[in-house]
Amino acid sequence: MVAPLRVGLAGLGTVGSAVARMLVESRDQLAERAGRPIDLVAFAAKDPPRDPKVDVSKLKKFDSPSALATDGGIDVFVELLGGEGDPAKSSVEAALGAGRAVVTANKALIARHGNALAKLAEKSGASFAFEAAVAGGIPVVKTLREGLGGAKVGRVYGILNGTCNYILTKMLTEQRSFADCLKEAQRLGYAEADPTFDIGGFDTAHKIAILTSLAFGTEIDVEAVHVEGIETITLADLQAAGELGYKIKLLGVASRTDAGIEQRVHPTMVPKGSVIGGVDGVLNAVAIDSDAMGLVLVGPGAGGPATSASVVADLVDLACGRTSPALGRAAARLAKPTRAPIQRHEGGYYIRLAALDRPGTMAAIAKAMAAENISLESIVQRHETARPHGGDDPKSAAGPATVILITYATNEDAVRRALAVIEREGVVAEAPQLIRIEKS
Ligand code: HSE
């Protein structure tokens, strides 16, 4: 009889409880797949299990995650506490330092400290796995690290935050306010404890920084990610996007460009008919372009059952003795990424202007665009805006009209300069809305 893999679990929240349940309820199936039992033997948690069906009465209890992490009675420390600081960081360091395998779902920890932790794991010979840290149940870490091990990846991008996708979907389909949809996402348990991480794009930034490293063989460089959240997206933008054949999604995008590796998170226009454009609600999607093939993975990015499936998959690998370097190659072989600044980003843009409804406005806008060599694919003037002063006299003071421009491929610097001129000319009533268009 092969000895079981003994698991110590820190954190019994939504994901921790789901992992504990899966290890018990799928015990026989997991033993068959792994060739040995995977037994949960110990835990550390401040609070009782979030799921009352989880019975911890027969497990050894530790008051401190670090004490559990270094206890000789476990073979693998599973960190599901969350957060980039302590106790998550210190307990993972303690485990790896002691040569103990670690499995974690902690994207903030990996994004901020992944390079150092990968080195520490290598030094002590410990396995370090984090499939659940990116896109919950979608096996994208394994896909990049192993499935595409021989391919050259040019771009990886996707919807990596279920809360934002849920909010953008609900706002459009149910004509509801941003705040109302956010509240519902929180109630359903998708959002982070502090939802600013979701809607401000920081959660997505952590995840794309990890994918960038796996895709391009570079050190994780989360500071290089350009981050914009979804707070400025209005129902009018979502509707206009729809009329023009697009959906607006919060994307994390990493690509190789002539200027280096570009990493960015921002609301993005994607074609309605693309696979990513069809991924709505709380679902996540990750698209990978490589010389071998392009593929899109779609699935749940959050929630107990999905995320626990990824944690348990890492445990099965460990139990079978399948390990690989945490970031896909030896830490010393990871390249320092060259940062491609957002100012050099190239692509199409959606621009929404609150244009003053008077002669010369369109001419000024067109002139500013032409001066920067920006070619326009479409110009739409929407008529819903009221003319507060009414009347037919073109010289009378009128309210702003919504003008939407879609540009052909240009670059960020040029667009920013043109918009600065338009604002200086005094032909718009508020700061322009700018949304990048991503080719699928
Ligand atoms: N708050 C995250 C989301 C949870 O909404 O996707 C998973 O990381």
Residues paired with residue 298 on neighbouring β-strands, in sequence order: 285
Among 98, 114, 133, the domain-final residue is: 133
pLDDT value at residue 398 = 57
Phi (first) and psi of residue 306, to 5 degrees: -65, -45
Token pair recorded at residue 231: 């707070």
Q: Which domain, by its residues, includes 353?
A: 345-437
Are residues 114 and 21 located together in one domain of the fold?
yes
- pTM of the predicted model, to two decimals? 0.94
pLDDT value at residue 399 = 76
Distances (CA, A) of 330 to 92, 103, 139, 223, 327: 19, 18, 21, 22, 8
Q: What is the pLDDT of residues 178-207, one digit of tens each?
A: 999 999 988 888 888 789 999 999 999 999
- How remote is the CA of residue 169 from the centroid of ligand 1, in Å? 15
- How remote is the CA of residue 192 from the centroid of ligand 1, in Å? 6
The amino acid sitting at 214 is: L
- How remote is the CA of residue 335 from the centroid of ligand 1, in Å? 29
**Dist. CA 9–CA 410, nearest whole Å:** 50
pLDDT value at residue 389 = 39
- CATH number for the domain spanning 419: value is 3.30.70.260
In a domain, 124, yes or no: yes
Among 133, 153, 183, the domain-final residue is: 133
Q: What DSSP letter does each residue of 261-286 carry, written as one string?
A: EEEEEEEEEEETTSTGGG--TTEEEE
Which ligand 1 atom sits closest to the C-alpha of 190? 5
pLDDT value at residue 357 = 87
Question: Ligand 1 within 6 A of 82 CB?
Answer: no
- Split into its structural domains, the chain has a count of 3
Determine which helix (DSSP H) or strand (DSSP E) holds 370, and give its type and residue range: helix 361-371
Are residues 361 and 390 located together in one domain of the fold?
yes
pLDDT value at residue 383 = 65
Region of 325 please: left (phi>0), alpha (psi -120 to 50) or beta: beta
- How remote is the CA of residue 394 from the centroid of ligand 1, in Å? 50
Residue 267, Cβ density class (10 Å: 0-12 exposed, 13-18 middle, ≥19 buried)? buried
In a domain, 338, yes or no: no
pLDDT value at residue 381 = 87
Are residues 236 and 201 located together in one domain of the fold?
yes
- To test the pocket of ligand 1, the residue of 168, 181, 198 to mutate (highest count of ligand atoms within 8 Å of its CB) is 198
- To test the pocket of ligand 1, the residue of 14, 106, 160, 163 to mutate (highest count of ligand atoms within 8 Å of its CB) is 163
pLDDT value at residue 19 = 98
Regions of the chain short of the pLDDT cut 50: 386-396
What does the buried/exposed string (b/e) look like for 214-246 if buried means 16 or more CB atoms within 10 Å of the residue's CB?
A: bbbebbbbbebbbbbbbeebeeebbebbeebeb
In a domain, 380, yes or no: yes
Q: What DSSP letter does each residue of 399-432 carry, written as one string?
A: -EEEEEEEE-SEEHHHHHHHHHHHHHTT-BSSPP
